[in-house]
Amino acid sequence: MNPRSSKGAGARETSVSVVVGAQFGDEAKGKITDYLAGRARYVVRAGGGPNAGHSIHLPEASFVLHQVSTGVLHEGVTGVSGPGMVINPLLLEAELAELREKHVFKGEFVISERAHVILPLHPIEDGWEEGIRQQRSPANAVGTTRRGIGPAYADRYGRWGIRFADLVRPKLLQERLGLLYASKAHIPGLPAESETLATLGEVAGRLAPFVRPTEPMLWDAVAKGERVLIEGAQSALLDVDFGTYPFVTSSHPTSAGAMVGSGIPPQELDEVIGVTKAYATRVGAGPFPTRAEGEIAEFLRTAGGERGATTGRARDTGWLDLVLLRYVTRLNGFTSLAVTKVDVLGGLEEVPVAIAYTTPSGEKLTDYPPAVAEELNQVRPVYQRLPGWPEFTGRLRERIQREGVHALPSQLRHFLRFVTEETGVPVEWLSYGPMRDETLWLGRGATAHTALPSWSA
């Protein structure tokens, strides 16, 4: 098989797409992925674990996906929990059971044999490490979800980790687990090794039918020109290398990370869709240059329902930050943008947008933030205030359902064109509510006047 053969003719439709969060997470990228998933053959979750939460609102039910991709919500689509993930098998079983109980499990589901296992000891280690940071100073706390993500990735790169390929091989599992426990003797309060082995042995038997070599499956799909959608967890500004370190996650929720975490060669990537809210939020610790205060912050939090899907923690709220958006646009190679939650800002007289920073020394920054979190925390945003758009009433929503882009308020169109002009990337998707059908395709290059969209029917 020549994996490039289908592409060589130059006539193939878009096959491989990646959805990347363009802010600090919680951009409603799960909703955008779900909207696109029905047109895919495979939907791959490429990184992270149960620290991520994709809120999905369907007529049948509302729920949160943590370790399962949105592909399982669509008939004829396979959801892949990919090789770049760290997966808690006990939580995974509970998640699959909930989806079945709510009658929304409609596709197929597989787990990469190369994905790593979050063990019962990892959340304990996670809390212990965060405690050390807090003992030194509350400012050192990184705001971990304490789900064991960081320790599981640390074991992965330290070559102590246990993969699903090991989990379903009892003898190998016992050997690997003994070695791992030997490396953890300094951590207090861990469960007994024998107890962990017994727990893993039980869950391994139940999950074994789902464990597959997923890379050949995806390579074949790409060669056939079938659509593969890779969904990000967390977001680009939480990337362990390129985010607001150390207030980041432990993986690479960028377009490059998506290719590594799926096993698909980078030359097969056709489009990268960046998802951004019309404003901004952040949950947990770390710098947030455009953070709002007082009544407007509470308005955004309440109107936007801004609480973490996984932790339930209230999110800090603020304004769209074009310095950071320009940065992640170049970092990920966005080919289009999806702007979400425009309905939340409906009714405001004006919408502030940060177009630059000034540093304490007087330097002006427009497209590259300071690498040091403490320095990013000291910048002052320079705002441009755009006209607000009308409230998203039931009547306006109905008009958008009937008339599409022509029903959008002129002020909102101006906002979208402004974002495109400032980033150089067209806004092609718009979300104006939590439901799947409250999503509007604007057209390929809609705010840049180019061709038709690759995801059209």
Residue of 178, 49, 51 lying closest to 116 (CA atoms): 49
CA distance linking residue 92 with residue 95, whole number of Å: 5
CA distance linking residue 310 with residue 302, whole number of Å: 18
Q: DSSP 3-state assignment of 423?
A: helix
Interaxial angle between packed helices 89-101 and 193-207, expressed in degrees from 0 to 180 and rounded to the nearest 10: 40
CA distance linking residue 137 with residue 358, whole number of Å: 28
Residue of 366, 405, 413, 408 lying closest to 386 (CA atoms): 413
Q: At which residue do the structure tokens 């990370």 appear?
A: 257
CA distance linking residue 249 with residue 26, whole number of Å: 14
CA distances from 14 to 10, 11, 38, 231 (A): 11, 9, 15, 16
CA distance linking residue 317 with residue 290, whole number of Å: 8
Of 26, 126, 155, 321, the catalytic one is 26
CA–CA–CA angle 279, 409, 355 (5° rounding): 35
Q: At which residue do the structure tokens 């509470």 appear?
A: 298
Of 34, 54, 66, 252, the catalytic one is 54
Q: DSSP 3-state assignment of 361?
A: coil
Structure token pair of residue 93: 């079983």
Residue of 91, 65, 94 lying closest to 79 (CA atoms): 65
The full length of the chain comes to: 457
Q: At which residue do the structure tokens 């441009």 appear?
A: 384
Structure token pair of residue 151: 């320790």
CA distance linking residue 66 with residue 70, whole number of Å: 10
Q: Is 141 in contact with 164 (CB distance < 8 Å)?
A: no
Residue of 140, 158, 328, 323 lying closest to 247 (CA atoms): 140
What's the alpha-carbon Rg for the chain, to the nearest Å?
22
To the query of whether residue 26 is one of the catalytic residues in this protein, the response is yes
Structure token pair of residue 308: 């973490």
Give catalytic residue positions.
Answer: 26, 54
